[in-house]
Amino acid sequence: MQEQVNDQAKQFDPFEPFRGMRDAYLESISKTMIETVNSEGYAQATGAMLDYFLTASAPFREATEKAMAQTLQQLSLPSRQDVAALAERFTQVELSLDDLDAKVDRILQVLAAAKPAQAKERKPARKRTATKRT
């Protein structure tokens, strides 16, 4: 008897009786909405809303950026643009390092081909790869 009560309680969902009705309603409205978002009217309306938002927010955004840049400059702190520029330079350095890595690999391959006996004893190129287990 207790098990039966527990089972009933476990299964209890006050929305259960409405599930069929809900699913039928959602299915019908889903089809309508898919047709709506696929229409030219929807594309035009969302485009216009986005354009309005961007146009309206532009002066505030620009004013905030300007004020922030001035504040950071007065505090001798780097701005977002400064950090981004630095990060770009880091990427260039990484690219150069990767080019060097490729050149070293090619040299090792040439050496390995020229001296197969020695190359056997040489540490394989793949061991140079730094790995980090995640």
Count of residues engaged in binding other proteins, rule: CB under 8 A = 55
**Nearest partner of 80 among 89, 71, 91, 69, judged by Cα:** 69
Lookup: tokens for 17: 């009786």
Distances (CA, A) of 130 to 10, 101, 133: 52, 12, 10
Q: DSSP readout, 21-36?
A: HHHHHHHHHHHHHHHH
Is 129 a binder of other proteins (CB under 8 A)? yes
Which amino acid would we find at residue 100? Answer: L
Look-up: residue for tokens 């643009």? 81
- For other proteins, which is the closer residue by CB, 5 or 117? 5
Binding to other proteins by CB under 8 A, coded x per residue (else -) over 5-24, reads xx-xxxxxxxx---x--xx-
Among 21, 74, 113, 126, indicate the residue that binds other proteins (CB under 8 A). Answer: 126
- For other proteins, which is the closer residue by CB, 87 or 117? 87
Among 68, 73, 98, 103, indicate the residue that binds other proteins (CB under 8 A). Answer: 98
Write down how long the chain is.
134
Among 24, 56, 58, 63, indicate the residue that binds other proteins (CB under 8 A). Answer: 58
Nearest distance from C-beta of residue 10 to other proteins, angstroms:
6
Is 56 a binder of other proteins (CB under 8 A)? no
